[in-house]
Amino acid sequence: MQTQIVSFDMDGTLLTLPVDWLRVKAEISRLLGKDVVSIRAMLREFWGSDEYWVVNEVIRKREMEAIERSKLYPGVREVLQTLSVKCRIYVVTLQSRAAAEAALELHGLRRFVHDLITREDAPDRLRQVSIVLRRESGPVVLVDDHLDQLAEISRAGLRVEAVWVCRRDYASCWRAAAEFGFRGRIIRDLREILTLLM
């Protein structure tokens, strides 16, 4: 039997990392001398450049400051512990490796995670999941709270079963999924993933 691979986004899926993103955007805008509207778009644009690593360090500092105030979503520890018995777990995150490691350690989750793919490895979820797919031979389940990223992965045709964690009411979740053309699974609580996978 093939080991199931389950990849989780971190911030917004497993836990909340209360970074002041408006402050970060302002800092990066000053540093680059141009208005940064979207940090995710900026990461893609600057990937591979010297500026990328300078910006990465600015963001990393703010993430590290927020670690102590981070909070787990209900049931996360139990979900990862249960899945880790039969599944190989990855965390794919646009946070820095240092922040991801620190947050997972703080909340006692690191021991359940096989590996981390962070923004030091790739600047967007599509490329991050592609790294997981290159490392693993079996199908991958991706659990994420970012519908736009899940839809992009689905459109790219990657062998990924997408699960959207939508913590809003079901009607608005389904409307948003239809808008994005998302055909994956929708859960409102991370604990529902156990029913889907076990």
For residue 116, which of 134, 94, 137 has the smallest C-alpha distance?
94
Cα gap 119→127, rounded to integer Å: 10
First to last CA, the chain: 14
User: Percent of the chain at pLDDT above 90?
Assistant: 89
pLDDT the model gives residue 2: 59
pLDDT tens for residues 136-175? 987 899 999 999 999 999 889 888 999 999 998 889 999 9
Domains in the chain with CATH codes = 4-16+71-197 (3.40.50.1000), 21-68 (no CATH)
For residue 129, which of 182, 84, 175, 90 has the smallest C-alpha distance?
90
DSSP label at 171? H
Q: What is the mean pLDDT of residues 120-128?
A: 97
SS3 40: helix
pLDDT the model gives residue 126: 95
